[in-house]
Chain A
Amino acid sequence: MIHQYQLGGYNIVLDVYSGSVHVVDEVAYDIIAMYETHTPDEISAAICGKYAADGITAEDVSECLEDIEELKNAGKLFTEDKYKNKVIDFKKRSTSVKALCLHVAHTCNLNCEYCFAAQGKYHGERAVMSFEVGKAALDFLIKNSGNHVNLEVDFFGGEPLMNFDVVKQLVAYARSVEGQYGKNFRFTLTTNGMLVDDDVIEFANRECHNVVMSLDGRREIHDASRRDYMNNGSYDKIVPKFQKWAKAREGREYYMRGTFTHANVDFTNDIFHMADLGFDKLSMEPVVSAPGTPYALTEEDLPKLFEQYEILATEMLRREKEGRPITFYHYMLDLSHGPCIYKRIAGCGSGTEYFAVTPTGDLYPCHQFVGDEKYKMGDVWNGVTNFDLRTDFMSCNVYARRECDDCFAKLYCSGGCAANAYHATGSISGVYEYGCKLFRKRIECAIMMKVAQAEMGTSDTVFAEDATESCDDCDSCVEFE
């Protein structure tokens, strides 16, 4: 399967199952479009007719057809799906746990209008996690992690810094035991910034692999949604703290993460505002909400959002040329050394390798299912006890969704978010089509940027000298039979 599109002045051909990306001229673009449905003579007649003024001859067409055939034989174009039936028996999929989202505080000091977690309470009572519950969660993770070395723990909420002492105690505990079990904990802290101080910054820079700071962009946009319980906007309180923190990260990973809604469909202005504040690692996500709410994204918003993603890509390339690059989470494709086919098929791992833990120690498939009792999977003392549910999530992959069969982006999203699918369709094996449309646009933009960066020489990804040769990035490259 291939996907052809024109963007940023490039004619791009993506070969879905090999992951190959080709940049072609107009003639080759048209020939490739006809290749599988027309004879060589038909193609030649059509192309010579269309490009007569450019002097394109039958010989030119024939030469291009030979190149296409060569790429096809090299497994770089028109490749078939070799994975569906041969690669993974999902019923035998590992159930080793790798990551936990620790809800250390089901409470929040902000009262954001669009919060999917219902102001941090997840439709329940306000609560904070005790050290004992958190310790049991870390023990559960270690015990069930199998051969995984890198274990990921996200301190999440509500607002996790409302329970900062427990966060520090849990990190100290994890560090005290990771060596003896041969594990490496990677911590992430997700925060709204209200309680950030020098102590938090020093701690996070020492212990946290990643920090996610919540900021929605322009002051008026941010403060319209992210207000405290006295109805005051939070922008002026958090921005100076985040600026200090981002600078102090000194190259360590962080993301400035925003949410856009129907109120700021022109969300690139918020991204550029964040960039102008000095933040260079940026993420901006569409709001998760029920249809009909005032801030929910609409069908009418879609064309504007597509345009915004193109504007973002163009502006990012411009800033890169000027020597002041920014990164955008969804445009960070690693085409050279990115994830293997297993990862691309299996998805996010919710309910199998990834769980959310509530303040009382209950396990849920991910943070977006917390509070929905029928998705409770067990607890940190007894482990997973709802095996039927785990089987449902084990089976939740790109091949579980017929809607994904013909989608060019399926090996980039691995079938999409189970929680989004559930909220949109009532089934975790459903498809959140609105999200799919945005995702496909982002992937098109991201691949176009890789092409442009290859031309500029600013990317690890370069043009192949011999397109028919396979990558030699690793010893594990063994021909699939």
Chain B
Amino acid sequence: MKRIRTLETRDLAKSVKNGGCGECQTSCQSACKTSCGVANQKCENTKK
């Protein structure tokens, strides 16, 4: 496309099917302890 470039990203709509295994890190356990951010975590779904 001439005017639009798109990053390759995980399609959230498609993560509905087999997501939700719950193996990823509990967000507050990493470094913040005082806020809530989830997007910096890695998916740890071993079935994917």
Contacts and interface: CB of A to CB of B under 8 A. Distances in A.
Interface of A: 17-25, 27-28, 63-64, 67-68, 70-71, 75-76, 79, 82-83, 87, 94, 96, 98-99, 101, 116, 147-150, 152, 154, 186, 188, 190, 210, 212, 255, 257, 283, 285-286, 288, 329-344, 347-350, 353-354, 366-368, 411-418, 420, 435, 439, 442-443, 446, 450-451, 454, 461-464, 467, 470-471, 473-480
A147 B43 CA distance: 16
B12 A18 contact: yes
A461 B32 contact: no
B9 A467 contact: no
B22 A71 contact: no
Q: Interface range on chain B: under 10, 10 to 19, 20 to 34, or 35 or more?
A: 35 or more
B40 A329 contact: yes
Contacts of B24: 339, 343
A283 B33 CA distance: 11
B29 A463 contact: no
Contacts of B29: 99, 101, 152, 154, 188, 210, 354
Contacts of B32: 257, 283, 285, 329-330
A154 B5 CA distance: 41
Contacts of A330: 32, 37, 40
Given A25-B3, A285-B35, A340 B23 contact: no
B11 A18 contact: yes
A343 B41 contact: yes
B13 A17 contact: yes
B8 A464 contact: yes
* Among all A-B residue pairs, the 5 with the closest Cβ atoms: A340-B19, A476-B18, A474-B48, A342-B20, A467-B6
Contact of B35 (A27, A340, A439, A462): A439
Contacts of A70: 1
A334 B39 contact: yes
A279 to B, nearest CB: 12
A394 B34 CA distance: 19
B23 to A, nearest CB: 5
Given A96-B22, A339-B24, A21 B6 contact: yes
Contacts of B16: 82-83, 87, 340-342, 480
A415 B9 contact: no
Contact of A474 (B9, B12, B26, B45): B45
Given A461-B9, A463-B6, 12 more contacts: A64-B4, A330-B32, A335-B8, A337-B43, A338-B10, A344-B39, A414-B38, A417-B35, A439-B37, A463-B5, A478-B17, A479-B17
Given A83-B16, A339-B41, A152 B10 contact: no
A478 B14 CA distance: 6
Contacts of A451: 7
A329 B30 contact: yes
A347 B23 contact: no
A210 B30 CA distance: 7
Nearest to A210: B30
Contacts of B1: 67, 70, 467
Given A20-B6, A337-B42, A343-B19, A99 B26 contact: yes
